[in-house]
Amino acid sequence: MRGPHNIWRLIRTGATLERTGAMGVVLDAFEAPRALRLLAHGLGKPFMWLGYRGDPSMPPATRALTALGPAYIKFGQVLSTRPDVVGGDLAQQLRVLQDKLPPFSRDEARAEIQRELGLSVEELFSEFSEPIAAASIAQVHRARLADTGQDVAVKVLRPGIERAFRRDIDAFYFAARIVELFAPGARRLRPMDVITHFDGVVRGELDLRLESSAASEFAANTGDDEGFRLPPILWNLSARRVMTLGWADGVSLGDNDAIDAAGIDRAELAERVLQLFLKHALRDGFFHADMHQGNLKVAANGDIIAYDFGIMGHIDEYTRRVYAEILFGFIQRDYKRVAEVHFEAGYVPADRDVDEFARALRAVGEPIFGMDASHISMGRLLSYLFEVTERFGMETRTELILLQRTMVVVEGVARSLNPHMNIWEVAKPVVGDYIKQSIGPRAMLSDLVKTARVMGRFGPRLPGLVESALIAQTHEGTQRPKRSPAPVIAAGLLGLALGAAAAVAAMLLLG
């Protein structure tokens, strides 16, 4: 992390926000107190001349973020899905960050394709359009295959994007270190771990071979999901900086007028978006982690079409069960159980009072139930949650960062379709089904099957391990007091017993 460079980068960030007029817009959107406004403007105005000018034709916030670079644009994309947090006007301004950024030239894209695939655009495609969508990392062209006539979408990384992202991430690391040094109270949020996690996500997004692989796995998991489909990947026309996939016709999930004109029920569509995300996260542990409106379309038959698989989330089975129990506890308004799950998972230090934590969770959850979602201020709710977690010493869980962020984005997308949707009522059937399947007798049998598989691999080695332990005990007997081999023998017998029990359970489960 280069200190002087990053100090300069952060100064220019504040200066750019001030110069473009975005500072006031952002402070207004978050209802910043007067003291913070005075401090922000006081620090920004003296350096305003150092800020990037940006595109004057854009609204202030988008003008500032596009001038600052791709990592800032990513942040703006998340905010664009939360009109309840930043206000409808700012959310609408930021919507252009999803797929309407200034493109690079078609000639540059053609050169990138030839370098990556080894053939010219003319040899590969009979038609190759101007850019039809441009985002922070890549842009998309519509094309037609020369050999089959199939319509496809060709995604090409922006030239030099790797270096631009490296510069931004470097500055974020520096800012996180400053926070840890000068704001000890924020260390529980583990800012360095958060940036490290974000860095890893971005690195994966900058290799389109990984995105192609993720899309293939996602398609295999979701093939039977009704009302949801993905465009197929063309592996022979994909590489590190180029990705080709089948063309998908549809209207953007952010175009409510077009959705209404197509006769599609937006309330049902909002519920389906949220429930599909929960199914993918809980059932598969592998989910689309960038589900903003720019990456979702609605087909003429009402199917949701997802694309842009650069950011995918993965959570292990244990974490899924914890997350589901927490969600289900909130849905059932069983705050004591929600508190207990936090303690059992180690999310809250064991020396804290579980009953007090449960009461704090009740104060967060109760306002949600029986209230129109449009009357809930998510900004105030998140602010209070932050106060609760700080009071009880919860640390940031890096394995849940992407899941939590995506939940925020998906909720924002769903509410843009139906502002009156209650997320808890919509989530209840999906989470309930998962609870029944993953926490109960069938889940125990499934766990035993996995145990049987492990014991099947290591079972033949147990006699040898026991014999080696006995020999070691014998050799050590002349050097120090002799220890009983009983614990070792017991461990071996216990392992054999568990293997036998697991094998029987597996046979019962499998028929």
Angle between helices 22-29 and 3-19 (to 10 degrees): 80
- Distances from the Cα of 301 to the Cαs of 30, 132, 199, 269, 418, in angstroms? 39, 23, 38, 12, 19
Can 447 be counted among the known catalytic residues? no
Q: Are strands 304-306 and 228-229 parallel, antiparallel or unpaired?
A: parallel
Give the total residue count for the chain. 511
Catalytic residue among 99, 168, 170, 290: 290
Q: Within 10 Å of residue 313's Cβ, how many Cβ atoms?
A: 22
In three-state secondary structure terms, 351 is: coil
Q: Let me know: does 201 contact 402? Beta carbons within 8 Å.
A: yes
Alpha-carbon distance of 492 to 485, in angstroms, equals: 11
Give me 388's structure tokens: 């609760």
Q: Let me know: does 156 contact 239? Beta carbons within 8 Å.
A: no
Give me 152's structure tokens: 């496809």
Q: Are strands 138-145 and 125-134 parallel, antiparallel or unpaired?
A: antiparallel
Alpha-carbon distance of 77 to 437, in angstroms, equals: 35
Instruction: For residue 66, count CB atoms less than 10 angstroms from its CB and return exposed for 0-12, middle for 13-18, buried for 19 or more.
Output: buried
Alpha carbon 287 to its chain's center: 8
- DSSP for 89-153 reads HHHHHHGGGTTBSPPPPHHHHHHHHHHHHSS-HHHHEEEEEEEEEE-SSEEEEEEEETTT--EEE
In three-state secondary structure terms, 160 is: coil
Residue type, 85: V
Residues marked as catalytic: 290
